[in-house]
Amino acid sequence: MKILKYLLFLLLIVIIAGSIYIATKDGTYKIESSKVINAPAPMLFGEVADLSNWKNWDAWSSIEGIDMDVIGEKTGENAAINWQAEEIRDGRIVTTSVIPYSRLQQALLMQTIIGEAEGLITWSFVPEDDGTRVTWTLEGEQSFKEKLAFTIQEQNLAEVFQPVFEESIEDLEQNVIRKMEAYSISVDGVTEHGGGYYMYTTTAARLGEVNTRAASMVEQVRLYMEQNNISISGPPLIIYNQRDDRSGTTIFSTGVPTPSQVITPAGSEILNGYLEPQKVVKTTLKGHHKNTAEAWERTYRYIEENGLLVDPLGQPFEVLITDPVEFENPAQWVTEIYIPVE
């Protein structure tokens, strides 16, 4: 009987000591994963802010038997996503604060074996030289029951969530890059181009440098037109005065259309030109400018396959329908290619 009392007394001491240990144990936690992704901040922000995208990269969504649903609005404050799963506990994420292109805050509510756990999720998007640093943070304060639960489990809270965060950000990067890399080429066939006047400046470059060089040249021409009250009547164009695909070099002019002829002063770097109305083969590229080489190749192939002849006196040109500054996703850029034919 005395032995039983001693055992009960010893057990009581262990319980009290354990409770004191758990109660005094620091329950604050902060789990974070960060990565620089070669993509613009607005695009990455939009990918995360739209909760309907989470199923494409959130590592939780790859768990067998999980069912994720967007509740109500998919973006903005109060947008929410719920999940039910067989292997993990049910949960919900609710967007509570939105600072466009730079920061998101969300409330995490998750069912555990000892009740409901809460946490604060913060996403930050900071532009850097090589892209955007995306940081995903989960922080909060564990209750006594939660500290007890993770004390007796094989893994602590950080060990459970850290791999999920890291895998999710890797998948986020791949998903966004895949969206940015998407492109399509459509050879639209023979058409008539109406021509017209344009203000321009000229330089020489390698073919791979044309679009990079053209961007600053367009700004130079537009600034001149603004300072001299010259009207703009269409999207900018790149005219190939000389183009050698074999050597990969070109002399080209970057122009901005204007409705009428403009006389420029002697010595001006910005001049006025005129594009004659002409018969052309038109191709539309939707996607990054790095795909223009393929678009040109397919256009020339169309000309050959259809028994057409390139006009030796004509100057092929491109029209930059979309402004890359206004469209963060290169997959949305549109370029029209025109090759004059006889």
- What would the pLDDT profile of 89-117 be if each residue is shown by its tens digit? 677 889 999 999 999 999 988 765 545 67
Average pLDDT over residues 158-170: 79
Over residues 134-152, the mean pLDDT reads 63
- Please report the pLDDT score of residue 126 as a whole number: 96
pLDDT-derived band at 327, boundaries 50, 70, 90? confident
State residue 108's pLDDT score.
Answer: 85
Query: Which pairs with CB-CB distance under 8 Å and at least 24 residues apart come from 126-133?
Result: 126/41, 126/102, 127/40, 127/41, 128/36, 130/36, 130/38, 131/36, 131/37, 131/38, 131/39, 131/40, 132/36, 132/37, 132/39, 132/40, 132/41, 132/44, 133/34, 133/35, 133/36, 133/37
The dotted CATH code for 184-340 is 3.20.80.10
Top-confidence range, 87-96, 137-146, 152-161, 165-174: 165-174
Structure confidence at residue 154 (pLDDT): 47
pLDDT at position 152 is 43
Q: How far is CA 182 from CA 41, 43, 93, 204, 322, in A?
A: 18, 14, 30, 30, 16
Q: Is the pLDDT of residue 65 over 70?
A: no
pLDDT of 30 above 70: yes
Q: Is the pLDDT of residue 219 over 90?
A: yes
Please tell me whether residue 247 adopts helix, strand or coil conformation: coil
Higher pLDDT, 113 or 228: 228
Q: Answer with the residue of higher pLDDT: 15 or 64.
A: 64
Residues 310 and 322 sit within 8 Å (Cβ to Cβ): no
Is pLDDT above 80 for 197? yes
CATH topology for 27-181 is: Alpha-D-Glucose-1,6-Bisphosphate; Chain A, domain 4 (3.30.530)
Residue 1 pLDDT: 55
In the chain, % of residues over pLDDT 90: 54
Q: What is the mean pLDDT of residues 274-298?
A: 95
CA distances from 1 to 7, 9, 10 (A): 10, 12, 14
Asked, colleague to colleague, whether 27-181 and 184-340 share their fold, the answer is no
Q: Looking at residue 61, what is its pLDDT? A: 64
Q: Give the pTM.
A: 0.77
Q: What average pLDDT does the structure give for the chain?
A: 83
Backbone angles phi, psi at 242, to 5 degrees: -140, 135
Please report, for the chain, the start and end positions of each structural domain, with discontinuous segments joined by +: 27-181, 184-340
Digit-coded pLDDT (tens) for 172-185 = 999 999 999 999 99
